[in-house]
Structure 1
């Protein structure tokens, strides 16, 4: 009989520098020639549901000044190339990933990890972050490595899915899943309000999870991907000469609402909406959470963990849903049924069902 996979531990980490207020000021400064549009942007930014977002690099002192970052790499009219941004990723991402893994407090058990899964869509390098994690965190050099790259915000669900399959096929497996994203590296100069509002969603963050057959924590039950029809252009993530270019259409919440309204039965299987106790929803933005809430008829408390993660951290791409799941793991009661979901390019919803194996 196949073993069941359990998320035993989750640890999360953000960098030291809170850049949210500065970022709003910088974004508004790009509209200084049009006070009316600047006022519209500022009003919409204040309604984002976000109070803090973190970056691996400190911001400059003045959001109206010549540079965005303290080191002067992001200078007005001369933002860095993709090559420079990838150098910054290679410098900072392993440090942030290690911070999350260290908080798992694996101790000598780090050497018992058999599989390492890393998700990221904000940086590319080889030798990569997987080898850095092995060296920094005391894993065996022979650990089996997998990188899930460029899948966007839902990649953490795919990492859990891989871990689920690995443990089910090998009950002795001990899988470390690490999600690390430096979204703020891809800031661009623009006067497009929709794109400016997208930029002030993003923060840097990392999560680390231990998945094994030991029956404690959160049991992973099933997975299902749902693709919204005729939605490929609503959310895209492409590599350009001046960084990675995220397009996040204002139609995304409506597409999510319509897709969940018609496909939630497929996601839940034989469970009804009223049987779900926990909703681990990726907070892609306030409007996304509002759309999920409306489409499923959830009460205001159901998405509280997601809204709190958004408020404190913004959208950290693949790491974000793991922050939500970490909160649920820490405050779980026995025998709760949960549904997790994260959204990304496609437009795709990667979803999973889970239940709590014990109380916290």
Structure 2
């Protein structure tokens, strides 16, 4: 049975950080080791890398000076999770309002959160904060990072297939500003510190039956999920943790990882031809490569490019933001489309379906 994905609610963090402000901060804090009155000799390279991300601004839960200040891993983790949880609660409450549901109507909750360690998980915290039933089904996902939104939708779809008519609350939150460390000066660290933003997103997925299909709002009807772990691909990009906190790292292979995954995606699609696409805005090349590889014109990635420029890469929330933008200027009713995202591993997740 298909499932209806309602319009996601996106909550961006409070503090807008422009790329110009970020570059000024890097220029001020990264100086020539031999002569601190001079800029770092690699500053020009870093500026080009940061501009090439396509990000014009991003939103962080903490002001620039506070977010970039050195601190312990314990402090960083605590702040990151607290901020992510607040964003997640706000997005989830509004997603329930959009769907016209009370907390007691939710049959399952799927959460994804990577950027700080916590036990119990975000799912348990949200059940208490939102007042969900104590017997609600929980699917708490972690370590997924950028693929988290799509993977959460896949798990929601699987749940509705097992329990027709179920209403599943999907909530994704990431505080990716926590990976910013002034001590890191590798090209990869400069790119990642400029790429990411903090946010949460939530949506309700409803399994379709004769009863639940009545008077559905416009949205994406999910028909077929994709889950992929690309063979021998853990050398693309990954996360590490040390005394300073969480870090992301990668090799040059990361730039082509999404393209390498395309044969698996086209095999999944088979003879089905999407007329629109919701692609994870991990970077300009990722968007364009995926859109064109599934037979669409580059303009099909315009919502992904807009999300990247205006919000940065929001990690697992990013694909939900692109879906929300698609709701604001929707495809033709009945037209087929696909939602696709990527994450460390190298992994991918997707949903094929149609717009109603």
> TM-score normalised by the shorter chain: which range applies?
0.7 to 0.9
Tell me which residue corresponds to 2:75. 84
Tell me which residue corresponds to 1:251. 253
Tell me which residue corresponds to 1:64. none
Tell me which residue corresponds to 2:130. 137
Q: Is the 8 A contact 2:276 2:296 kept in 1?
A: no
Tell me which residue corresponds to 2:268. 267
Q: Is the 8 A contact 1:20 1:200 kept in 2?
A: no
Matches within 5 A, 1:151-300: 151-188=144-181, 189-213=183-207, 214-215=212-213, 216=216, 217-260=219-262, 262-271=263-272, 275-293=273-291, 295-296=293-294, 298-300=296-298
Deviations 1:258-303 (A, max 9, x none): 331x3343121231xxx31111110111232233245445423110
Q: Is the 8 A contact 1:12 1:323 kept in 2?
A: yes
Instruction: Work out the CA distance in 1 between the residues paired with 2:163 and 2:348.
Output: 28
Instruction: Work out the CA distance in 2 between the residues paired with 1:292 and 1:24.
Output: 30
C-alpha spacing 1:264/1:170, structure 2 compared with 1 (3 Å): closer
Tell me which residue corresponds to 1:65. none
Deviations 1:7-32 (A, max 9, x none): 12311111110123333332344443
Deviations 1:237-268 (A, max 9, x none): 123222112113333232322331x3343121
Matches within 5 A, 1:22-33: 22-33=21-32
Q: Is the 8 A contact 1:228 1:256 kept in 2?
A: no
C-alpha spacing 1:337/1:107, structure 2 compared with 1 (3 Å): closer
Deviations 1:49-91 (A, max 9, x none): 111211111223xxxxxxx44xxxx53xxx2222111210232
SS in 2 for 1:53: strand
SS in 2 for 1:276: coil
Structure 1 residue 317: deviation in Å?
A: 0.9
Q: Is the 8 A contact 1:28 1:41 kept in 2?
A: no
C-alpha spacing 1:108/1:43, structure 2 compared with 1 (3 Å): closer
SS in 2 for 1:141: coil
C-alpha spacing 1:140/1:157, structure 2 compared with 1 (3 Å): same
Scaled by the length of structure 2, the TM-score of the pair is 0.87
Select which of 100, 103, 123 maps to 2:94: 103
In structure 2, stretches of 5+ residues that fail to align are 33-38
Q: Is the 8 A contact 1:120 1:150 kept in 2?
A: yes
Aligned length in residues = 337
Q: Is the 8 A contact 1:50 1:313 kept in 2?
A: yes
Instruction: Work out the CA distance in 2 between the residues paired with 1:92 and 1:149.
Output: 17
Structure 1 residue 183: deviation in Å?
A: 0.6
Tell me which residue corresponds to 1:146. 139
Q: What root-mean-square deviation, in Å, do the aligned CA atoms of Structure 1 and Structure 2 show?
A: 2.1
Instruction: Work out the CA distance in 2 between the residues paired with 1:293 and 1:252.
Output: 18
Tell me which residue corresponds to 2:53. 48
C-alpha spacing 1:241/1:228, structure 2 compared with 1 (3 Å): same
In structure 1, stretches of 5+ residues that fail to align are 61-67
